[in-house]
Amino acid sequence: MGFDFELILAIAFLVTGVFWIYDRIVYLPKRKLALANMTPEARGAINKEAQQRLAQTPRFVVEVKSYFVIIAVIFGLRSFVVEPFQIPSGSMLPTLEIGDFILVNKFEYGLRLPVLNTVIIPTTEPKQGDVVVFKYPRDPSLNYIKRLIGLPGDTVAYRNKVLTVNGTPVSKAFLAKLPISLNPSQEPVDVFSEQLGDVQHDIYNSYRFTPQEGEWTVPAGHYFVMGDNRDNSADSRFWGFVPDENMKGRAFYVWLHWDEFLSLPSFKNNGLIE
């Protein structure tokens, strides 16, 4: 089971919010009254922290409610505007490297309720070629990132390293042969430039056999996704389609790269994600 930070943040928001409201209803009027009964000199001599504990306000109420504003701001930004993620695997090479820190547009595919992920205000629909972050269908506590290949109703096929959508092969042009790739295994790969819809991006093809060949028809309300590292990606070819309610947003920017904890972060990959 993954670490569901979104759920933990939502719980923290609710708990601190309850304490904040409780304090304003029960103790704030008493503190105001206590301050009003003091002389100006006495009020001036009491610092803000001491004022919070007037009228016998319990220390735990003061402590918990003090975190509400900062948690509310973080919760609001992450839920409705933009959310950061770190790339943990090489499934999106060469587009995204292990250790890239990315930003995800949370309102691109509709304003959604936190945790439940239900659309409350529709905006735009996911498009072929988008790099999308979604909740893994087999374990929604995990976030995955892949490229959107097939829309509802599309027929996607992948055979002998050739991708077709609705019977039309997706255009790709050979760029280079890498004797050492960015894969953890450093296996040799061919790099291609692929034109998927309006998006042009690079992909890896290894010299190994093509995994999980087949043809799939995307059902209504679902999407077919694949990694750009075509022979090193666990994606819709293996575990099926992504329901619309699992979509979290579109990845649009790399803002930092950090290989490992003891290394220095860098900005070598900073830029928009194609």
Q: What amino acid positions are annotated as catalytic residues? A: 91, 146
Cβ contact 221:244 at 8 Å: yes
Between the alpha carbon of residue 208 and those of residues 53, 125, 156, 163, 193, the distances in Å are 68, 35, 21, 16, 19
Distance, in Å, from the CA atom of 179 to the CA atom of 251, rounded to the nearest integer, reads 29
Distance, in Å, from the CA atom of 17 to the CA atom of 15, rounded to the nearest integer, reads 5
* Residues 47/50/54/59 CA torsion (nearest 10 deg): 150
Cβ contact 251:132 at 8 Å: yes
Residue 59 has what DSSP assignment? Answer: H
Which H helix or E strand runs over 51? helix 48-52
Give residue 186's region: left, alpha or beta (phi > 0; psi -120 to 50). left
DSSP codes joined into one string, 132-186: EEEE-TT-TTSEEEEEEEE-TT-EEEEETTEEEETTEEPEEEEEEEESS-SSTT-
Residue 106 has what DSSP assignment? Answer: S
At 248 the three-state DSSP class reads strand
Residue 231 has what DSSP assignment? Answer: T
Percent helix, strand and coil across the chain, each to the nearest 5: 25, 35, 40
